[in-house]
C-alpha cells in the first residue's frame, strides 16, 4: 500500500501554545478521519493533556491576538517512509 504522508508543522515562540495547537489538530484529525483508520504521529511529543495544561499555565493560543498562517505545499515524486 502506498503511504500518503502529510506533514503539519506548528512553529512559534516559546510559551505561545504550540503543544495545545498540536493537540487540537490531532483531535480534529481523529474526529474527522476516524482514528484508528488514520495514523497520526506527533514527532517526539505526547501532547495528550496540553489543552488542559494550557488552562493552568496560560500558554495558550486561544487569544484574540493569535494569528494562524496555513500553507499548502505540493511535493512531487514518491515519498518513501522507513520505519
Side-chain-side CA neighbours of 16 within 13 Å: the count stands at 11
Per-residue confidence (pLDDT) for residue 83, from 0 to 100 = 55
Whether 2 maps to a domain, the answer reads: no
Residue 73 belongs to domain spanning:
12-83
The gap from C-alpha 56 to its chain's centroid, in whole angstroms, comes to 21
Per-residue confidence (pLDDT) for residue 12, from 0 to 100 = 93
* Longest CA span, the chain: 44
Number of domains in the chain: 1
Whether 6 maps to a domain, the answer reads: no
Whether 56 maps to a domain, the answer reads: yes
- pTM: predicted TM-score of the whole model, two decimal places: 0.75
Whether 3 maps to a domain, the answer reads: no
Whether 19 maps to a domain, the answer reads: yes
Judged against a pLDDT cut of 60, whether residue 35 lies above it is answered with yes
Per-residue confidence (pLDDT) for residue 17, from 0 to 100 = 92
Whether 46 maps to a domain, the answer reads: yes
Band of pLDDT at residue 24, cut at 50, 70 and 90: very high
Amino acid at each position: 500500500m502506498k503511504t500518503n504522508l502529510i506533514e503539519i508543522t506548528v512553529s512559534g515562540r516559546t510559551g505561545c501554545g504550540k503543544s495545545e495547537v498540536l493537540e487540537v489538530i490531532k483531535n480534529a484529525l481523529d474526529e474527522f478521519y476516524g482514528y484508528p483508520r488514520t495514523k497520526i504521529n506527533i514527532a517526539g511529543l505526547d501532547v495528550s493533556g496540553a489543552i488542559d495544561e494550557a488552562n493552568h499555565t496560560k500558554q495558550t493560543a486561544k487569544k484574540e491576538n493569535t494569528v494562524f498562517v496555513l500553507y499548502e505545499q505540493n511535493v512531487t515524486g514518491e515519498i518513501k517512509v522507513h520505519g
